[in-house]
Amino acid sequence: MALRTQLNVAAPVKRTDKGEVPAYKLSVNDMVIKAMALALKAVPDANASWTDSAMVKHKHADVGVAVSIPGGLITPIIRKAEEKTLSVISNEMKDLASRARSRKLKPEENQGGTTAVSNLGMFGIKDFAAVINPPHATILAVGAGEQRAVVKNGEIKVATVMSVTLSTDHRAVDGALGAELLVAFKRLIENPMGMLV
């Protein structure tokens, strides 16, 4: 949260017809997308899909993000998310979500992908299990960040904690491999400075 605030304060301004606005405004979800993409890069065996003829291992992390629209959900895809900066992911996600809600996405913008993120934290949901959207082999359900008591160096402290739940298609990503992916995600999201390099 502190890094997100620092990055948003440091955002350069750009001139628009509405005056000067920040060039980006990062959300927690933008950081989750980037962390999931980099976790898949760190655990390439989890970046896979099961098909009728074979298991496919993907070269890039194309992360679908669940967006609520009237009548259901749609998952626009951030392509090659592991290669993009947080600001690019943020601006691309805002554009995709806006066009998804107005039903103006091109078919290729919400088809395929290698994984997905479903974030219900903004609704105050602490934790939940998300349903996998084929051809993805994984989906990360993200709950709300909330202050909880934690033990640090033998003392009880207050920390902001976010719960995530990984659902996997065990034909492509079994429990052990899923756990390895979550460990990589946890390392990145708890040390987000590493996503900047």
Tens-place pLDDT, residues 134-169? 889 999 999 999 999 999 999 999 999 999 999 999
The pTM of the full predicted model, rounded to 2 decimals, is 0.93
Whether 136 contacts 115, CB under 8 Å: yes
Which domains are seen in the chain, by residue range?
2-196 (3.30.559.10)
Across the strands, what pairs with 67?
Answer: 74
What is the set of active-site residues? Answer: 170
Q: Which pLDDT belongs to residue 16? A: 87
CA dihedral angle for residue 34, residue 36, residue 37, residue 41, rounded to 10 degrees: 130
For range 36-54, the mean pLDDT: 95
